[in-house]
A and B are shown apart, each in its own frame.
Chain A
Amino acid sequence: MAPPILEIDELTMRFGGLTAIDRLSFEVERGAIHGLIGPNGAGKTTTFNVVSGFYKPAGGEVRLRGETISGLRMHEVARRGVVRTFQHSTLFAELSVLENALVGTHMSFPPNIFAAMAGVDKANRRAARARAEEALDFFGLSRLADELAGDLPHGHQRALGMAVALAARPDVVLLDEPFTGMNPEETRRMMELMVKIRNTGVTILLVEHDMHAIMGLCDRITCMSFGRLLAEGNPQEIRHHPDVIEAYLGGARHVA
């Protein structure tokens, strides 16, 4: 079997006395759609924040293609090929849709201030623009290119967030709740797009609450509870796993 592209190894994250992630280990296969689920507060987003370099872990490590990336800063992680999106609609709301996608091309076409002043970066700018337009086209946002990102309806904003990430041509993309606030029709279309993205060779790791989407989309699912690994398997196994049912329904009964 091919080695996993992303390895989370005994990862631990603490905030003061609270252990948000407790020696979590799992692996993401190259070219897979991998779901990370769990009840609220299980530590899913914290895991994302550690993997993407926003937090430094208290223990353990994250490896990309065997190379340790935990402890690197976010832009350094991004430059190694792991790009993330954010919960809610985190976009450059004051910039146009096209400009948002152009920021996504930053790594592939790094701006050079001297070339910009001398006006000798035309080819670079054209290539960046073509890449950005291609990413917008993929998500059906081309005709909105000149709109302000903040003026878009919610579903389009989520799509634009993914377009910004995909414009960077990452190896691994981390999607934080990509289906939140989408209607069933939008969710269905987004699921199709994700399969298309995966088919271009991008590995997807996603956190999501929409069980219908998760079960229909993922090749493999990791379920967390209170910062620990609860269960791992394919959608069928997870659906019938007694611990997972306990974590979701048991928690619900507790609340009720």
Chain B
Amino acid sequence: MTKLAALLGFGAILLALPHALSFSQQEILVFLTINVLVVASYRLLTLTGEWSLGHVVIMGVGAYASALLSKRLGIYVPAAMLLGAGTAAMVALALSFPLFRMKGFYFLIGSFAAGEIIRLLWKRFREPFGGPKGIKKIDPMPDFDIGVYVFDFFEPISYYYFALAVVGVSLWVMWRIERSPVGLTFHAVHWQDRLAEASGVNVRAYRTLAFVLASGFAGLSGALLAHYIGTINPNSFDVEQMVFVLTWTIVGGTATFYGPILGCVVLTVLNEIVLREAGFEQMRPLIYGLIMILSVLFMPKGLESLVRGALSRRNANRKMTGETEATE
């Protein structure tokens, strides 16, 4: 019951949040919402123990596919987004055949190479990918009216609500997957792939499944991004973006579902809001880097370890007060 109340309260805060922000902050909020989906899907990929450097490019595959499908074939934008997600998942499935012959460090490098190949294809082929200049004037989401609220996608607030709904549903699906026997098998593959295999788990198939699922959600986030900013090019999905995803994930921690999301939110707020407001315009990257080094040094288990510590302390306290009440 208190859980439900907390969830409703959290939802209300998320709905009210953009109204307390400036226009540019609202735009950042939209990007943040999309990035939450990117890091959450990245964690799904890391569940089986493999870290990829191609995740942002896969996100770009979703963006390109959705943009082209809506622009060239006139497909309804929300449908194009889902097809974009599907395309990203299919590309990941094709890539899984060469990539999952490798493990660990080699997989990391292999995924980077695969991502660069895709980016070079975008650059090389002006038709249909638009070459280095990418795709411009991507169809925006068509406005619609759900009775209580009119979505006018010229406003970041409207797009924020839309993205929030899409990301919320995606997170819920990922959460259910992780809590299911499928999720347990992912963990098993991660911690002891030989023992998992001896228990009859097709390790390769489960690694592929996690990769394809994660890529589908990454593709969806790419599609959300493309139809918001309206223009994408190969550099929108370069390794610099990947480094951001990695730092959010590492600073947040990957042991829990919320770890990477926490990392993404805290670092984005820190970088975009706090440091900007404090007037560190030129020195922002420097301070951002410093904070990251400090956090990795002093919180090697990530931001999530703080939350976990607080939760277990609260539980211990509650247990203690419960026991003293019982004795009284």
Contact = CB atoms under 8 A, between A and B. Distances in A.
Interface stretch (B71-79, B80-88, B188-196, B279-287): B188-196
Interface string B189-228: 0011011111111110000010001000000000000000
Contacts of B66: none
Determine the interface band of chain B, counting residues with CB < 8 A from chain A.
20 to 34
Interface of A: 52, 54, 73-75, 78-79, 83-86, 90-95, 99, 102-104, 106-107, 109, 111-113, 116-117, 119, 121, 124-125, 128, 164-165, 168
Contacts of A112: 182
A116 B199 contact: no
B181 A95 contact: no
Nearest to A108: B200
Contacts of B197: 73-75, 78
B211 to A, nearest CB: 13
Interface stretch (B102-110, B172-180, B238-246): B172-180
Most B C-beta atoms less than 10 A away, residue of A52, A109, A117, A128: A117
Given A79-B200, A104-B199, A92 B180 contact: no
B301 interface: no
Given A83-B200, A106-B201, A124-B181, 18 more contacts: A52-B198, A75-B198, A75-B199, A75-B202, A92-B188, A99-B187, A103-B201, A106-B188, A106-B196, A107-B200, A111-B180, A116-B182, A117-B173, A119-B176, A121-B180, A125-B180, A164-B199, A168-B199
Most A C-beta atoms less than 10 A away, residue of B184, B187, B194, B199: B199
A85 B185 CA distance: 18
A54 B191 contact: no
B184 A103 contact: yes
Contacts of A99: 184, 187
B173 A75 contact: no
Contact of B181 (A78, A116, A164): A116
Contacts of A119: 176
Contacts of B187: 92, 94-95, 99
Contact of B180 (A93, A94, A116): A116
Nearest to B180: A116
Given A106-B185, A116-B180, A117-B173, A86 B191 contact: no
B325 to A, nearest CB: 24
Contact of B176 (A93, A116, A124): A116
A117 to B, nearest CB: 6
Nearest to A52: B198
A112 B197 CA distance: 17
Nearest to A174: B198
Interface of B: 173, 176-177, 180-182, 184-185, 187-188, 191-192, 194-203, 209, 213
B194 A111 contact: no
Contacts of B184: 95, 99, 102-103, 111
A164 B180 contact: no
Contacts of A94: 187, 191
Contact of A106 (B200, B209, B213): B200
B199 A103 contact: yes
A121 B180 CA distance: 9
A107 B182 contact: no
Given A92-B192, A93-B191, A102-B184, A113 B177 contact: yes
26 contacts: A52-B198, A73-B197, A75-B198, A75-B199, A75-B203, A78-B200, A84-B198, A85-B198, A86-B194, A90-B192, A90-B194, A92-B192, A92-B195, A93-B192, A94-B187, A103-B195, A103-B201, A106-B181, A106-B185, A106-B188, A106-B196, A107-B199, A113-B209, A116-B182, A121-B181, A168-B200
A121 B185 CA distance: 15
Contacts of A116: 176-177, 180-182
A106 B197 CA distance: 10
Most B C-beta atoms less than 10 A away, residue of A86, A92, A102, A168: A92
B199 A128 contact: no
A73 B184 CA distance: 22
A247 B266 CA distance: 66
A84 to B, nearest CB: 5
Contacts of A164: 195, 199
Contacts of A84: 198
Contacts of B199: 75, 78, 83, 103-104, 106-107, 164-165, 168
- The 7 A-B pairs of least Cβ separation, nearest first, read A116-B180, A111-B181, A107-B200, A78-B200, A74-B197, A111-B182, A103-B188
A83 to B, nearest CB: 6
Contacts of B195: 86, 90-92, 103, 164
Contacts of B192: 90-93
Contacts of B191: 92-95
A103 B196 contact: yes
Contacts of A83: 198-200
